[in-house]
A and B are shown apart, each in its own frame.
Chain A
Amino acid sequence: MTHGSRHISVPALARVEGEGGLEIIVSDGQVTETRLDIYEPPRFFEALLRGRQYTEPPDITARICGICPVAYQMSACQAIEDACGAQVTGEIRALRRLIYCGEWIESHALHVYLLHAPDFLGYDSGIHLARDHPAIVARGLSIKKAGNRLMEVVGGRSVHPVNVKVGGFYRAPTANELKQLVPQLEQARQDAEDTVTWVAGFDFPAFDRDYEFVSLRHPDQYPITEGSIASTSGLDITPAEYDKHFEEFQVPHSTALHSVLDGRTYLTGPMARYALNSRRLPASVRSVAHQAGLTATCTNPFKSIVVRAVELLFACDEALRLIGQYRPPDPPAIDVRPITATGYGCTEAPRGMLYHRYAITDDGTITDAKIVPPTSQNQRAIEADLRDFAAPRLAMDHETLTRECEQAVRNHDPCISCAAHFLDLRLADKTDKAVRLT
């Protein structure tokens, strides 16, 4: 087969969360189409929420994603509290940031060690990697465990925590319960620092992109639970203004809606957060990032693993800081009464910005819901990455190019379960008819 006309297809993309594929179509030596096919079955969450009570979205929307349930819970709480005119401050706000740090640690350690690093080192999985490098994988699992443990102590369990509610928490953990996590988190912080050095030594293809980055921005903190929505082209809006600038639309090859910012493709996630907020990282974390070769902005998506590792370090550091200052909120939740209104919430899921909007009535009934997950927003940027990455590499052998294109998708830690409320990479001949079991 010449590269004059070909299809590169990965029918079922591995090491991503959810079900999707990738397809690159080449004719006359030119990439004519790149598609991130998302066939994850739709689950219709926005429709299921209609008629439910305003207290239910934290539990229901957590089920959109087992990897980042806290992100859904936090964006949901914020949006509903916004509708009701309630504002969570002080110790409850700090405890929310703490459980969110647990999710960043768990999710980033999973992606860096088990999903993404095997690509750079030529292994099929973290389990294969462990056969040759058991101590490295054990380090990754140990960091991940520290994140899960933090979520368990604050949230009751790590997948779909039970302790989060509109207004705060059902029960505040005791200072002693949190203090017991400190040795494990201190080890995780050291391991995360070693992770930054480890991943910074990987070989990265030369592939710098001209992204418009979008993330939350906060005046004095690296953004997790709150901030204004900012972009590298100067956007600076509140979550309530989201719908004026961001538009979702449907494409035939995806059960996840695509999203544009004033008509433009953009990228959310660790690289975007870092580009817009690196100055807000603690000096100690910034110094580790600089030693790893990162400047104020990273535009090579293959190096997102380094940025993710820096955020992993930050999340461990921030968790320890928050535990050091912890005083149990009493009461653990504020009273939030329904009024007829619409509310907006936006927080930073591990893989990018997550927007929720709810309309409720004064008897607490939800009449409308809108949820825009990060992977949905990143689909167009991922497709653009694939096009520009594959185009100059069409002379490569099919298997290598296919593998590297898969890696180009994995750079963005796509969560297809989220996006379809899944992902499959098809880079193949139309004649290839693989029977799909996965």
Chain B
Amino acid sequence: MAPDGPALAVWKFASCDGCQLTLLNCEDELLTIAGSVHIASFTEASSEVEPGPYDLSLVEGSITTSADAERIQRVRAESRFLVTIGACATAGGIQALRNFADDLTPIVYARPDYIHSLRTSTPIADHVQVDFELRGCPIDRRQLLEVIAAFLAGRRPNVRGHSVCVECKRAGRVCVMVAHGTPCLGPVTQAGCGALCPGVNRGCYGCFGPMESPNTASMSEIWKHLGAGGPALARTFRGFNAAAEPFRTAADEEAGKHDAR
């Protein structure tokens, strides 16, 4: 596999494997990628693990253990470029809900003393310098190919920060919120998925995290008008990108409105 090409490594932290799987799901491009880059370390796909340094590291997952907090430092030191892939690595993932709760270990494990887990789930950028963050729960295959192609060409990935609404309009879809009164996070959520949820007559639930300039206050008014303000909106913000600002703040405000009532 192109032993002379740039060395690619894929790393996993706390996650579901879905973003790495997206690389293996590039069925038409996988063998071409393997011919253009040298896959030096990708434990999910290969027993061959070569020592660093690596030209490009793709990092999936969030930091939830002290061992992983140390391991990401070593990965960073061995990597020329480090790109995080997915909501866990970029925002802490669904497991970051623990950041807002009491210690959850005793609920799941009879012997919490066997479990070595941090109280918080944090994004990679809280620990090391990150060169690019690719959003999504899971990431989008086309965006992943763009990131790898951009890296090979030595340019910035063309990944836009506008909202899901732009994708919806481009696809010529009817707005589920305006036409059907379905609460939708599309106006405050970054594009990239292809506006999948409105495509199945469902409101966006924020897999790609906040868009570049989200107006969460206005979102709150609309959801309230649709009868889904307060706890319902708080719960939706507290999803797969719960620890990403400004979803985090907006969720706290919505939950607070509920407490005040």
Q: Residues on A close to B: CB < 8 A? A: 12-19, 39-48, 50, 52-53, 56, 59-60, 63-67, 69, 110, 114-115, 118, 124-128, 130-131, 134, 137-138, 141-142, 144-145, 148, 156-160, 162-163, 165, 169-171, 249-252, 255, 257, 406, 415, 417, 421-422, 435-438
Contact = CB atoms under 8 A, between A and B. Distances in A.
Interface of B: 1, 11-22, 24-25, 27-28, 30-31, 34, 39, 41-49, 52, 64-65, 67-68, 71, 74-75, 78, 93-95, 97-98, 101, 104-105, 107-111, 114-115, 117, 121, 137-138, 193, 196-197, 199-202, 205, 207, 235, 239-240
A125 B47 contact: yes
Contact of A438 (B11, B14, B18, B199): B11
A145 B27 contact: yes
9 contacts: A14-B49, A42-B115, A43-B14, A47-B101, A125-B39, A127-B34, A137-B31, A437-B11, A437-B52
B200 A162 contact: yes
Given A53-B235, A59-B205, A145-B28, A16 B197 contact: no
Nearest to A154: B200
Given A47-B104, A250-B114, A438 B31 contact: no
B168 to A, nearest CB: 14
A48 B104 contact: yes
DSSP class of A's interface residues: helix, strand, loop or mixed? loop
A44 B239 CA distance: 14
Nearest to A252: B114
| Most chain A beta-carbon neighbours within 10 Å: one of B27, B65, B95, B138 | B27
B108 A42 contact: yes
Contact of B138 (A46, A159, A415): A159
Nearest to B48: A124
Contact of B12 (A19, A65, A415): A19
B114 A171 contact: no
Contacts of A159: 18-19, 21-22, 25, 138
Contacts of B137: 63, 160
B74 A437 contact: yes
A174 to B, nearest CB: 12
